[in-house]
A and B are shown apart, each in its own frame.
Chain A
Amino acid sequence: MAPLLDVDSLAVTLPGPRGPLPILHDVSLSVDEGELVGIAGESGCGKSLTAQTLLGLLPAGATVTGTARFAGTDLLGLDNRGWQRIRGAGIAMVFQDPSAALHPMLTVGRQLTEHMRVHLRMDRRSATRRAVELLDQVRIPDPERALRAYPHQFSGGMRQRAAIAIALAARPRLLIADEPTTALDVTVQAGILALLDRLRAETGLAVAFITHDLGVLSALTTRGYVFYAGRVVETGPTGALLTAPTHPYTAALLGARPHGTQAVGTLRPIPGAPPAPGEAPPGCPFQPRCRHAEPTCGTAPPPLAPVAADRSVACVVRPHLEVTVR
């Protein structure tokens, strides 16, 4: 069976002040029906731009090559009308900052029912009924009253749950969640993760979860992609990916996390910073920061090659990597 979302060799270039800037290189990824997939990496690695590409939200002047198919539709060939049918009803998105995603002057109810009335052509009464169900589903207490509330009357966690309810209003099959819990406290984050997992189990929703927190990636997702400088550097089942990484960057990200060993300097920072777009070295983009780099790393970017069942890595050295995880 073909995956719900199938992205192959996607490359995106944005216009820059000094000529075109390549942002994404040869990105391939897939999400199955009812699957929780994680996308991890530092800021500027291209995770959010991948999401924007899949929703047709790239800035003007961007050039895109490769293919992206969603439920049989070629996303990259869509016109405006085509995108309107996909957004909301096919693929929906939840952003990091719920305060910015919600309209401050419209009630939560109005923002919830708008989708249903447009995409599902529901009348006011049945849309309201479904809105109450949705708020109940995301565990917002007293849904009838919440419909008449404005976003500022909600706490941060409730706002993010309302944003998720709105994203789900038109019954999308894929939810792209871009760092949805980064601005939230751990206890509130735990609630959002449980909610997404429950929605997947109950409704068959597929979720692509973008995060820089490897703990969140491990707790929620079954398969993951690690991005670096606009490329997928490693992919595989999340558990194996994070307990036995094969790319030095994945291992370095794990090393920079707290380990609970309580000795000075146990956090092992990755030296340097990721390259800015257009300034990546000719070879492997991670090579200047890599402890295991060899002369061959400098020639060409290594392709993502399979190393085991369901696992691929873009590294030619394939060093032995020691990691402590908790």
Chain B
Amino acid sequence: MTGLLDISDVEVEYRSRGRGRVLAVAGVSLDVAAGQIVGLVGESGCGKSSLARVAVGLTPPSAGAVRFAGQPVTPLGWRRRPDTEIGLQMVFQNPYASLNPRRTIGAQLLDGVPATVTGATARRNRVRELLDRVGMPSTAAERYPHQFSGGQRQRLAIARALAPQPRMIIADEPVTALDASSQAQVVNLLVGLVRDLDMGMLFISHDLALVHEIADVTAVMYLGRIVESAPTRELWRSPRHPYTRGLIDAVPRIGPTPRLPATLAGEVPDPANAPTGCRFRPRCPHAFAPCGDQPPTLDLGGRSAACWLNDPTMAPATVPAN
């Protein structure tokens, strides 16, 4: 099945003096269908934001392709984007940086309202509808970004992303900068919008528990590669990659007595000096001989994992219990 957003074999390479070639995204394929929420989780430096920027067409990939509604996504240039690509919108982490501090909210929302909506009254009504959609009063249109709190600003940034009536939203850590209670408000808003408007959403976050709560499918990224992808419940219940297991076990839980979360050995390596073979091998508690070769992404029936433990011809007789 090809989704509405189709990312295939994307690589992102950065070159820098001193460090040489850094492959931040090392061949990633991912689909997002209409009405579906795909969560992308991983630690800082794993390449998830680089992937988001390519997916929305902010930067070109060094290899591979991104297609949106069947058309290739062209990197953003000076020219106006084709109408189809306007259906792909992004919500950024920092609502303080994504709104223009010197223009009113109303003016910024009007920028995004399609030209097909004509007449000053109709366009103003559209702005009011957008504000209502994100739970803000229509008087917000006359005000400036600094007059709102962080959570309100993020809701206004979402209204701006909704203005051109997108079919797909890419949200890169949209609630990381917010307090617990505004986090819940913004997440509920995004999920509600996807369900009501039948949009697709790629929700990028380092917060596993949050992604577990909202995503239909979760993809786990480590050092530029997707190591596991599965329907969220299955992924959480029976992870098939040791890194996924490590991430889930590191989430602190509430319980009657203190229980420290499990720790994972070592540090995330520098992507400029990524280990050969399986990139997780040096930290993996189950590493064995075949791990010297890069494991392929194995299809496990409705889910996939890039780990030799899932290959019966390779794995030792006793596969470690999850």
Name A's B-contacting residues (CB within 8 A): 36, 42-43, 155-158, 185-191, 193-194, 197, 212-216, 218-222, 238-240, 242-243, 252-254, 256-262, 264-270, 273, 325-326
Complex alpha-carbon distance, A264 and B206, angstroms: 20
Q: Does B187 contact A (CB under 8 A)?
A: yes
Question: What are 23 A-B interface contacts by the 8 Å CB criterion?
Answer: A36-B258, A42-B180, A155-B268, A188-B43, A194-B263, A197-B260, A212-B180, A215-B254, A218-B255, A219-B258, A219-B260, A238-B258, A243-B255, A252-B181, A256-B180, A257-B180, A260-B236, A261-B213, A264-B191, A265-B188, A269-B184, A273-B181, A325-B254
Q: Does B179 contact A (CB under 8 A)?
A: yes
* Beta-carbon contact of B267 and A265 below 8 Å: no
The chain A residue sitting closest to B149, CB to CB, is: A273
* Beta-carbon contact of B188 and A269 below 8 Å: yes
Residues from chain A with Cβ under 8 Å of B206 in the complex = 185-186
Given contacts A43-B179, A193-B260, whether A216 and B252 have CB atoms under 8 Å apart is yes
* Beta-carbon contact of B180 and A190 below 8 Å: no
* Beta-carbon contact of A218 and B263 below 8 Å: no
Residues from chain B with Cβ under 8 Å of A43 in the complex = 179
Q: Does B250 contact A (CB under 8 A)?
A: yes
Q: Which of B182, B250, B260 contacts A220, CB < 8 Å?
A: B260
Residues from chain A with Cβ under 8 Å of B188 in the complex = 264-265, 267, 269
* Beta-carbon contact of B263 and A259 below 8 Å: no
Given contacts A185-B43, A187-B43, whether A258 and B263 have CB atoms under 8 Å apart is no
Complex alpha-carbon distance, A183 and B236, angstroms: 24
A-contact bits for B243-284, CB 8 A (1 contact / 0 none): 000110011111111111111100110000000000000000
Residues from chain A with Cβ under 8 Å of B181 in the complex = 42, 252-253, 256, 269-270, 273
Residues from chain A with Cβ under 8 Å of B233 in the complex = 262
* Beta-carbon contact of A186 and B208 below 8 Å: yes
The chain B residue sitting closest to A273, CB to CB, is: B149
Residues from chain B with Cβ under 8 Å of A265 in the complex = 188, 191-192
* Beta-carbon contact of B213 and A258 below 8 Å: yes
Which residues of B (110-125) have their CB < 8 Å from a CB of A? none
Q: Does B232 contact A (CB under 8 A)?
A: yes
* Beta-carbon contact of A194 and B212 below 8 Å: no
Complex alpha-carbon distance, A190 and B236, angstroms: 18
Q: Which of A191, A215, A252, A264 contacts B253, CB < 8 Å?
A: A215
Complex alpha-carbon distance, A251 and B259, angstroms: 21
* Beta-carbon contact of B256 and A240 below 8 Å: yes
Complex alpha-carbon distance, A262 and B209, angstroms: 11
Residues from chain B with Cβ under 8 Å of A215 in the complex = 209, 251-254
Which residues of B (168-196) have their CB < 8 Å from a CB of A? 179-185, 187-188, 191-192, 195
* Beta-carbon contact of B213 and A239 below 8 Å: no
A177 smallest CB distance to B (angstroms): 15
* Beta-carbon contact of B210 and A258 below 8 Å: yes
Complex alpha-carbon distance, A158 and B185, angstroms: 34
Complex alpha-carbon distance, A325 and B209, angstroms: 13
* Beta-carbon contact of A190 and B213 below 8 Å: no
* Beta-carbon contact of B210 and A218 below 8 Å: no
Q: Which of B214, B232, B236, B252 contacts A218, CB < 8 Å?
A: B252
Given contacts A193-B252, A215-B252, A262-B213, whether A239 and B257 have CB atoms under 8 Å apart is yes
Residues from chain B with Cβ under 8 Å of A267 in the complex = 183-184, 187-188, 213
Q: Which of B149, B184, B195, B262 contacts A264, CB < 8 Å?
A: B195
Q: Which of B43, B208, B261 contacts A219, CB < 8 Å?
A: B261
Q: Which of B184, B247, B254, B255 contacts A187, CB < 8 Å?
A: B247
Complex alpha-carbon distance, A326 and B209, angstroms: 10
Residues from chain A with Cβ under 8 Å of B187 in the complex = 267
A sample of 10 more A-B contacts (CB under 8 A), given A214-B254, A256-B183, is: A155-B267, A156-B44, A190-B261, A218-B258, A239-B255, A239-B258, A243-B256, A253-B181, A258-B213, A264-B188
Residues from chain B with Cβ under 8 Å of A187 in the complex = 43, 246-247, 250, 263-264
Residues from chain A with Cβ under 8 Å of B259 in the complex = 218-219
* Beta-carbon contact of A243 and B254 below 8 Å: yes
Q: Which among B195, B247, B251, B268 has the greatest number of chain A C-beta atoms within 10 A? A: B251
The chain A residue sitting closest to B44, CB to CB, is: A185
